[in-house]
Amino acid sequence: MLSDIITGLVRTQDDMVVVGVVEPGVNLLAALWAARPDIVILGLDDASAGPVSQRLLSLWPDLKVMGVSADGRSGCLYELRPHRVPLGDLSAHGLVEAIRQRARANWTAPSGTSNGAPRGFGAGEP
């Protein structure tokens, strides 16, 4: 029912086109390969479309994935988008601090490690 409401709403817009509706039991990936949409709208059974969105965005990085709650009252948008973060001072100290901050922003130390420092690689020998 929510699918019908969203489809009907989108079809009334002059600048939007519904390129397909995937019914239960239909292979979503195959339907997306055929239709090549700009945005996919998913009904959410729980609070997140994360795993499905991650899979879709790994295949189509320019795709936008919108998740809509079952009651139609809330939603979320998943997208990949590059962003630029100025690093400021690139002295030796500034560069090391920038690496440290970015590495720790998305990293947690494995249990049993002594210093908790992130490990990485770059040019040169490990």
| Any domain includes 100 | no
| Any domain includes 121 | no
Domain with 42, as residue range(s), is 2-78
| Any domain includes 52 | yes
From CA 35, how far away is CA 42, in angstroms rounded?
15
Domain count, the chain: 1
| Any domain includes 11 | yes
From CA 60, how far away is CA 49, in angstroms rounded?
16
From CA 37, how far away is CA 19, in angstroms rounded?
7
| Any domain includes 87 | no
| Any domain includes 39 | yes
CB–CB of 121/99 below 8 Å? no
**Predicted model pTM:** 0.63
pLDDT, tens digit, 9 for 90 and up, residues 73-103 = 888 888 888 878 777 767 888 777 877 777 6
| Any domain includes 99 | no
| Any domain includes 17 | yes
